[in-house]
Structure 1
Amino acid sequence: MSAAVISHLGSRSRTLLPGLSVSAMVAAAATFLSEHYGAPVMLFALLLGMALNFLGSDSVCKAGIEFTAREVLRLGVALLGIRITFGQIAELGWQPVAIVVVLVSVTIVVSIVAARVMGFSSLFGLLTGGATAICGASAALALAAALPAHSQKEKATLFTVLGVSALSTLAMILYPMVVRWLGLPPLQAGIFLGGTIHDVAQVVGAGYSLSREVGDSATVVKLMRVAMLLPVILCAAMITRAQGVQPGDKRPPLLPWFAVGFVLLAAINSTGVLPQMLQQAGGKLSQWCLVIAIAALGMKTQLRALVTVGIKPILLMVGETLFLALLVLGMLRLAD
């Protein structure tokens, strides 16, 4: 390695390290609070980051915060693939797979239509619908990374993360009561919880609060929804390419590198060659990257920008969540 390259890497590291370090510290604080108070770690990271938003415009930290919000986020999305194996999906049979494909597709399409009716862009509908239908805050961050840049993108992303985190926590509390009230058998209970609750952690909490059987099936169904992230990212990348590029810019790839990494890790994990310890480490690293990235996004955002969103985006996300729950229940009744 030449002296010039080493010098460049050293200079680049010094530029990025302050912002990356402060993002990691916010993520560590958010993790501590989440473990002690039981609220979603993404929500804590976002709120703590927003409390330190003055660092996003600081000349020392700005470059590192920008890098973290962009590249560390993409690394975290790629590492999500290590949670999935194709065998897990095959074990449930064709009905849950069909249910997941339909509910994700229909929810996103309905969200886009609803967003347009309410005066929002189709991209906002895709962002909120994808977050609701797939895996909450992780999906919101992944889609934001693939969608074309625009002036309201970060504001829309942070609002979506905030909304799905709050709604996921509420669903974790209420949906087990719904399962008991409807008298759903264990497999159907698992499909309902795994098919409706936004974030993986809340699905695990709700499922195992009922029984181990419900928790196991809910977790696998939820991971199937996570697997749907790939085709949705592909659609988002196609939209970005269709938007065109500014003169002198490179055209974005049809499949972003983090989506390719997601698929490769899922394929490798499906072979069974990865030891369980490595799978767990990869899953934790993915979670850490996403938490650090959302902390950085929070530091780039002014709180007053989110306060001005109004009631309509909130109604949109609540409506998407209720629609998803009713859709899954309807599909379970038809499958009987």
Structure 2
Amino acid sequence: MTTCRTVGYRSAARGGSVGYVSTTRTTTSPVTRTLLPGLGLVAAGVAVSYLVNLALPPVSALTAAVLLGVVVGNLPILPATARPGLTWATRRLLRAGVVLLGLQLAVPQVLALGGGTLLAVVVTVAVTFLGTIALGRLLRLPRGLSLLVGTGFAICGASAIAAMEGVVDREEEDVASGVALVTIFGSVSMLVLPMLAGPLGLSDADYGRLAGMSVHEVAQVVAAASPLGAAAVTVAVVAKLSRVVLLAPMVAAVSLVERRRRPATEGKRPPLVPLFVLGFLGMVAVRSLGVLPGGVLDATKTLTTLLLAGALFGLGCGVRIGALVRTGPRALLLGLLSTLLVTGVAFAALRVIGG
């Protein structure tokens, strides 16, 4: 922040007349100084996460970021001065990243899948989300964790969890658990699903639809479809993006439910429709108009990953491993059952109403 100071001086040679000199100096506001340590740590965490992704492509930068954050947050090396910047980054970067995520979706591409496949996508997402919540209740897991796992497995992994965490009543450990489950079971699906294409009698296009409708992360979808060739990958990515389109209405619907669950006397209630959800929809509309050049879209895709990785690193730093371990076995069982659910429902839906 730049500030101007006017300094007065008295000249003895002129009989005590007063002159003025205007001096300008650059200072940093107290708020900025408070945030800098945490923001520097976030930048370092994002850089390391990208390196992990380059070395292990199936592990997305988002997954690496939250797991790295958990490690850093539980080591005695995290200074207290970093906390304000981490908190700021978690909230601000998260919403900005979700808004820009909309630029990865073009409605005409999604519509090209056909009405039957789109209906199968909607059915798969709805059944997976609601079924995962029900399974979490049976396993006596926290409601917040079940909601986040249901969102991540039904929509698009860590990005969906990041979008949903701001409107549900959850613990920091629930976010880390959800992302960890996406990593574990998305990787399992990525490896196992190609081996099922032959026994299930799937064509390349049909297999692409199944992979796009059932595997969790976009990177995992690409890896799962690659063994069957470029045609399968193309269909798989578009099918995956059709799930991402449902992120905004799902977050908005859950926000409405959360408002009803929390009386106004309990403090601030979730917004009717979060502003970042409206921003997400606006970016989808912009992308669908086809007015942005490819270079801009590539740059915003990278920026989106950077923003979400920074937010998830901040979330991970707030996680305590002790609390995470206490729900471990039941959370793993939820991840397994939810993965079987999304894969089974996707296959059945494509057989019955897809095509």
TM-score, length-normalised on structure 1? 0.91
Give distance in 1, aligned partners of 2:237 and 2:112.
13
Map residues 250-329 of structure 1 onto 2, 5 A cutoff: 250-329=268-347
The Cα offsets for residues 296-329 of structure 1, whole Å up to 9 and x where unpaired, read as: 1121112222122131121011100011111111
- CA shift at 1:244, angstroms? 3.3
- CA shift at 1:71, angstroms? 1.6
SS of aligned partner of 2:141: coil
The Cα offsets for residues 72-116 of structure 1, whole Å up to 9 and x where unpaired, read as: 112111111000011011111101110111111111111122122
Give distance in 2, aligned partners of 1:327 and 1:8.
59
Give distance in 2, aligned partners of 1:57 and 1:24.
14
- CA shift at 1:173, angstroms? 1.4
Amino acid at match of 2:81: V
Give distance in 2, aligned partners of 1:167 and 1:286.
24
The Cα offsets for residues 266-293 of structure 1, whole Å up to 9 and x where unpaired, read as: 0000000011111111111111111111
- CA shift at 1:252, angstroms? 3.5
Amino acid at match of 2:212: G
**Who is 2:22 aligned against?**
none
Matched-pair contact (CA < 8 Å) for 1:56–1:65: no
- CA shift at 1:295, angstroms? 1.3
Identity of aligned residues (%): 31
Matched-pair contact (CA < 8 Å) for 2:221–2:236: yes
Task: Go from structure 1 to structure 2 and tell me whether the alpha carbon gap of 1:247 and 1:74 turns closer, same or farther (over 3 Å shift).
Answer: same
TM-score, length-normalised on structure 2? 0.87
- CA shift at 1:55, angstroms? 7.4
Q: Greater Rg, structure 1 or structure 2? A: 2
Give distance in 1, aligned partners of 2:335 and 2:216.
12
Give distance in 2, aligned partners of 1:257 and 1:3.
34
Q: Which of 94, 97, 115 in structure 1 is aligned with 2:115?
A: 94
- CA shift at 1:9, angstroms? 8.1
- CA shift at 1:69, angstroms? 1.6
Matched-pair contact (CA < 8 Å) for 2:141–2:330: no
Give distance in 2, aligned partners of 1:51 and 1:250.
31
Q: Which of 18, 43, 47 in structure 2 is aligned with 1:24?
A: 43
**2:128 corresponds to 1:132:** no
Matched-pair contact (CA < 8 Å) for 2:172–2:316: no
Give distance in 1, aligned partners of 2:27 and 2:268.
23
Q: Which of 226, 231, 241 in structure 2 is aligned with 1:223?
A: 241
> 61-70 vs 175-184, which deviates more?
175-184
SS of aligned partner of 2:166: helix
- CA shift at 1:124, angstroms? 3.0
Amino acid at match of 1:309: T
Structure 1 regions of 5+ residues with no counterpart?
none
Larger helix percent: 1
**Who is 1:51 aligned against?**
71
Q: Which of 174, 190, 198 in structure 2 is aligned with 1:172?
A: 190
Task: Go from structure 1 to structure 2 and tell me whether the alpha carbon gap of 1:8 and 1:246 turns closer, same or farther (over 3 Å shift).
Answer: farther
Give distance in 1, aligned partners of 2:187 and 2:241.
18
Matched-pair contact (CA < 8 Å) for 2:117–2:350: no
How many pairs does the alignment contain?
332
**Who is 1:71 aligned against?**
92
Amino acid at match of 2:38: G
Q: Which of 202, 208, 211 in structure 1 is aligned with 2:226?
A: 208
**Who is 1:12 aligned against?**
31
Matched-pair contact (CA < 8 Å) for 1:42–1:165: no
SS of aligned partner of 1:16: helix
- CA shift at 1:195, angstroms? 0.3
- CA shift at 1:294, angstroms? 1.4
